[in-house]
Amino acid sequence: MRAIVVGTGAGGATAARELAKNGFDVLVLEAGAPFKPFTRKISWAAPLRRAGLLGSEGTITRIFPAMEARRCSNELVLVRGMAEGGCTVISCGNIVRADRGLKDIGLDLSPEFEELEKIIGPGPLPRPLWRPLTKKMFDAAEKMGLGPAPTPKAVDSKNCACCGLCELGCARGARWDSRRFLDDALAAGARLRTKTPVRKVLVENGKASGVVTGRGETIKGDMVVLAAGGIGDAQILRASGLWAQDRLWADIVLTVGGVSKGARMLDEPPMAWFSQREDYIISPYIDILSHWFHPPWRNVPAEDRVGVMIKLADEENGAVLVDGTVKKQVTKKDRERLDEAVGTVREIMEGAGVRGPFVEGMLNGGHLGGTVPLAKEDVATMHPSRLPDGLWVADLSLAPRSQGMPTMLTAAALALRVARKVVGR
């Protein structure tokens, strides 16, 4: 059986690994190029940043092609990983169990979570690697009764350079990303083609029979597994005349910036600890997009900038058009919950001695899902009933709710469950 897997992020690499290990002839197609971390020192950007000469957030793609940043509204920027490894290569390496809304439809991913955790081996960042201010903010959150906890990370702390730039790729290989699962798939006989975007799925006699690439090439297969993310999956499905829903979510991020002389938050991995609230998490974090491209952040040097992230479970209201255009608004409810969280974050920062001016960062989101959501009746098969036979989805597109949490483990767990349903059939 020949399986075409589209995408190499947490979902695609996990599905390809499982299928290849079970004897499938697996061809993996990745729209982006082989991944190269951003290894240049970023100090060259400081004078350009202060002068406002770096341009808009879209500049990041020109200097670091693996990261695509684009606006979907006046307020919100969406970020995608466009390289081998997908979003995992530009992540902070956080591995947590995020399952918001899944149990509501009868889906329990606990077995997959446990299995993947054993393989990946996440653990907390040793406290001696935390910057003094990060410890103070942890203590302040604890005094406020917010229950902060060290973030489980797939990072080899002994090999970590503590550069604080995980999202620009790890040149030392200290952080896990899905290329390790992809390597397992290739060792089991799978094949990989990069720079091969998929334009649409072919359907013959009610069954998926292959794909058409962006260059017009037809590739035949017995089944197709889409794992191109909430935007990529929806665009391919729409171009194929197939079903996708206007329910894109993004886990909106808002980073509150403050000032503390010599904080040097970039001298530690981001998100050393987190506090989970009902609709969001709070975690120490320097937002690179805001630091480089958001005017209110320009006047503070990186060594003095303090950032605390709010990652929100946003409303599922985004639409992906057939040409890839995305339309998504920050709703009134989203804004109200963000404003509430900003107040809590400021209290944490002030309790740790951080001073103002406190400025809000660029609203952005990089966890993209919800466009091919599972319904209760789909859980037994893990196959959305409105898709043709032989066409599967194996990433966050299946999750009907925004998580407001790190989602790499969730994407991989969904893909593992899907791949095993494919094998079972």
Q: Return left, alpha or beta for 380; rule: phi > 0 is left, psi -120 to 50 is alpha, else beta.
A: alpha
Helices (H), 308-385: 332-351
Instruction: Give me the pLDDT at residue 41, please.
Output: 66
Instruction: Give me the pLDDT at residue 388, please.
Output: 98
Instruction: Give me the pLDDT at residue 48, please.
Output: 72
- The Cα–Cα gap between 37 and 166 comes to 9
Q: What residues does CATH 3.50.50.60 cover in the chain?
A: 2-34+175-246+370-424
Instruction: Give me the pLDDT at residue 50, please.
Output: 72
Q: What residues does CATH 3.30.560 cover in the chain?
A: 44-84+122-170+248-365
- The Cα–Cα gap between 416 and 395 comes to 9
Q: In this structure, are residues 5 and 56 in contact, taking their beta carbons and an 8 Å threshold? A: no
CA 25 vs. chain centroid, Å, equals 28
Class for the domain spanning 2-34+175-246+370-424: alpha beta
Please give the CATH topology (third level) of the domain spanning 44-84+122-170+248-365: Glucose Oxidase; domain 3 (3.30.560)
Contacts of 331 (CB under 8 A, 6+ apart): 314, 315, 317
* Dihedral, 223, 229, 231, 235 alpha carbons, nearest 10: -10
Instruction: Give me the pLDDT at residue 43, please.
Output: 66
Query: pLDDT digit of tens for each residue in the chain (425 aa)?
Result: 999 999 999 999 999 999 999 999 999 999 999 999 987 666 667 777 777 767 888 889 988 999 999 999 999 999 999 999 999 999 999 999 999 999 999 999 999 999 999 999 999 999 999 999 999 999 999 999 999 999 999 999 999 988 888 999 998 999 999 999 999 999 999 999 999 999 999 999 999 999 999 999 999 999 999 999 999 999 999 999 999 999 999 999 999 999 999 999 999 999 999 999 999 999 999 998 998 899 999 889 999 999 999 999 999 999 999 999 999 999 999 999 999 999 999 999 999 999 999 999 999 999 999 999 999 999 999 999 999 999 999 999 999 999 999 999 999 999 999 999 999 98
Q: In this structure, are residues 35 and 204 in contact, taking their beta carbons and an 8 Å threshold? A: no
Instruction: Give me the pLDDT at residue 40, please.
Output: 64
* Residue located via tokens 């037994």: 380
pTM: 0.96
Q: In this structure, are residues 392 and 18 in contact, taking their beta carbons and an 8 Å threshold? A: no
- The Cα–Cα gap between 304 and 260 comes to 5
Reference 162, options 270, 284, 255; nearest CA is 270
Instruction: Give me the pLDDT at residue 94, please.
Output: 98
Total Cβ atoms within 10 A of residue 60: 23
Q: Dihedrals φ, ψ of 314, to 5°?
A: -85, 170
